[in-house]
Amino acid sequence: MDATSFESMLRTQFEPLQYAIFFGALVLLGLFEALAAMDRGDVARRRRWPANAGLTMLNIIVLGAMPVSVIAVADLAAARGWGLLNQPVVPPLAALAAGMVLRSLVSYGIHVAMHKLPLLWRIHRIHHTDTRMDVSTTVRFHPFEFVVSMPILLAVAVALGIPPLALLVYELFDAAMAVFTHANVRIPGWADRALRLVLVTPAMHRIHHSAWRPETDSNYGATFSWWDRLFGTYRAIPAPEVAGLRLGLAEVRDRRTTSLWWLIGLPFRSLGAAPGGDDRAVAAGTGAGRAR
Ligand SMILES: [Zn+2]
Q: How many beta carbons lie within 10 A of that of residue 118, not counting itself?
A: 7
Q: Is 76 a residue whose pLDDT tops 90?
A: yes
pLDDT band per the 50, 70, 90 thresholds, residue 283: low
Which pLDDT does position 280 carry in this prediction? 64
How far away, in angstroms, is 131 Cα from ligand 1 center? 14
Q: Is 276 a residue whose pLDDT tops 50?
A: yes
How far away, in angstroms, is 18 Cα from ligand 1 center? 23
Helix/strand/coil for 286: coil
Specify whether the CB–CB gap between 131 and 248 falls below 8 A: yes
Q: Is 291 a residue whose pLDDT tops 50?
A: no
pLDDT band per the 50, 70, 90 thresholds, residue 251: very high
First to last CA, the chain: 52
The pLDDT mean for the chain works out to: 92
How far away, in angstroms, is 16 Cα from ligand 1 center? 27
How far away, in angstroms, is 92 Cα from ligand 1 center? 33
How far away, in angstroms, is 231 Cα from ligand 1 center? 16
Over residues 61-78, the mean pLDDT reads 93
Which pLDDT does position 41 carry in this prediction? 79
pLDDT per residue as tens digits for the range 182-191 = 999 999 999 9
Which pLDDT does position 273 carry in this prediction? 78
How far away, in angstroms, is 244 Cα from ligand 1 center? 19
Amino acid at 183: A
The residue among 14, 3, 18 whose CA lies nearest residue 175 is 18
Specify whether the CB–CB gap between 180 and 203 falls below 8 A: no
How far away, in angstroms, is 128 Cα from ligand 1 center? 6
Which pLDDT does position 95 carry in this prediction? 97
Specify whether the CB–CB gap between 97 and 224 falls below 8 A: no
Question: What backbone phi and psi angles, to 5 degrees, belong to 56?
Answer: -60, -50
Which pLDDT does position 9 carry in this prediction? 93
Question: What backbone phi and psi angles, to 5 degrees, belong to 224?
Answer: -85, 140
How far away, in angstroms, is 226 Cα from ligand 1 center? 17
Q: Is 173 a residue whose pLDDT tops 80?
A: yes
The residue among 38, 9, 178, 164 whose CA lies nearest residue 95 is 164
How far away, in angstroms, is 84 Cα from ligand 1 center? 29
pLDDT band per the 50, 70, 90 thresholds, residue 39: confident
HSE toward the beta carbon, residue 88, CA cutoff 13 A: 1
How far away, in angstroms, is 269 Cα from ligand 1 center? 18
What's the pTM? 0.92
Over residues 231-249, the mean pLDDT reads 95
pLDDT per residue as tens digits for the range 94-150 = 999 999 999 999 999 999 999 999 999 999 999 999 999 999 999 999 999 999 999
In the chain, pLDDT over 90 holds for what percent of residues? 85
Over residues 192-214, the mean pLDDT reads 97
Q: Is 252 a residue whose pLDDT tops 60?
A: yes
Q: Is 292 a residue whose pLDDT tops 50?
A: no
How far away, in angstroms, is 12 Cα from ligand 1 center? 32
How far away, in angstroms, is 127 Cα from ligand 1 center? 7
Which pLDDT does position 285 carry in this prediction? 54
Specify whether the CB–CB gap between 287 and 82 falls below 8 A: no
The residue among 235, 186, 164 whose CA lies nearest residue 8 is 164
How far away, in angstroms, is 88 Cα from ligand 1 center? 37
How far away, in angstroms, is 272 Cα from ligand 1 center? 19
Q: How many beta carbons lie within 10 A of that of residue 7, not counting itself?
A: 16
How far away, in angstroms, is 11 Cα from ligand 1 center? 30
Q: Cα 237–197–20 angle (5° rounding)?
A: 100
Tell me how far apart the alpha carbons of residues 202 and 129 are, in angstroms, rounded to a whole number. Answer: 18
The residue among 224, 172, 174 whose CA lies nearest residue 195 is 224
Helix/strand/coil for 11: helix
Which pLDDT does position 288 carry in this prediction? 36
